[in-house]
Amino acid sequence: MKKKLTILLLLIGLILTGYFLRQSWFVRYEVIELPVLEGYKKSAASKINNNGFILGTCLLPDSKLVRGKFTPIRRVFWDRELRIDPIPSPGRIQALNEFNQIVGTRSQNRNTHQAFVFDTTSGLQPIDIPDVTQTWGCDINNHGLVLVYGSALLPGNATTEVTIGWDIASATEKFRIASRSSQDSLNINNKNQVAGVSLTGTVKRGNPFIRDPESGYSIYTDLTIGSDVLFNDNGSMVFDSYDFKQPVLFHEGEPTAISQLPDGSSLLLKAINNHNQVVGHSHMADPIMRIQNLPIRNRWLDKLALWYLSRNHVGSMTHAILWEDGNTHDLNDLIPSDSGWFLEAANDINDEGEIVGVGYNPEGEERGFLLRPLD
């Protein structure tokens, strides 16, 4: 009996030691819940700049009919002190710079698109380029240079697809790239370099390119990638590579594979900062399939596991992730284990290492989160 008690106490000691080691060694972030507007139920954070301003949305409990229109979503800003302010919802938002200027696209219908810039001082500014129709706002840098994608008019009513650098202060065109691309792939950094994909066929795949103001246009025809590209001030690109069959970080001509989580089935990467830290989320294996693959199973174990998964977010199909220095981390492993949070998706990261996204708070409510590094 005394021997059994000693073993039990040793096991308890090992468990407690492991818990405190995890808290001290692996925890890297504090989790901060982003407040919601009064009367709204959910929130999500999509962008954060280096000044700590966060762009996101709040959602009503249901789609309420207001003046004949459904208005379930409200765009919001959170400042550094996490004070929340509603802003107009001008359209699809694509980018945020350090001066809190937002670029995106307004769409009245499937065939009418117009790029815009919005800030709380000047309001909504449509971007009108005389010979270009159907414009999409793709990105904006800290110099106020907007990347616009659209269809340029040619003689005989023909059109060709172009990417334009548009200076919003002078309302003038700074450069033009004649290439068929995807508005989701086009990025401009603070060195005025442009990165994206040059599409080669009817499907959304092609070759990555970089346009540098000094060295000109470079296209990497030996690589075939998808239509989404991330880009930073160091000239690093992140994209899905058909050659490597997974996402890669492409820097100075060298690709580095970005690995999955152990139980992951695919990665969706959303942002890269200037330290080559990448965030996004990992689609996880079906929880039921994981149970069925257990080495020891019976009918009651199946029922117990399914009951637990139905009440806990460990069965969620996506987990927020961070990739850095060749390693992919589940962000849920880098926050205090007693926080009660489950982080579902990470959407942006700034140069301070602050991460925003969406997850579930200890009460099980869907909320935007801010992760701040502890050191």
**pLDDT tens digits for range 183-228:** 889 999 999 999 999 998 767 889 999 999 999 999 999 999 988 9
Question: What are the structural domain ranges in the chain?
Answer: 269-375
Q: In terms of pLDDT, which residue wins out, 132 or 290?
A: 132
The pLDDT tens digits for 130-183 are 989 889 999 999 999 999 999 888 777 777 899 999 999 999 999 999 989 988
pLDDT at residue 22, as a whole number: 47
Is the separation of the CB atoms in 246 and 233 below 8 Å? no
Q: How far apart are CA 298 and CA 15, in angstroms?
A: 27
Rounded distance between C-alpha atoms, residue 225 and residue 243, angstroms = 8
pLDDT of 5 reads: 66
Write the Ramachandran bin of 214: left for phi over 0, alpha for psi from -120 to 50, otherwise beta. alpha
Task: Give CA–CA dist 357/280, Å, rounded.
Answer: 9
> What number of helices (H) and strands (E) belong to the chain?
3, 30
Identity of residue 228 = D
Predicted model pTM: 0.85
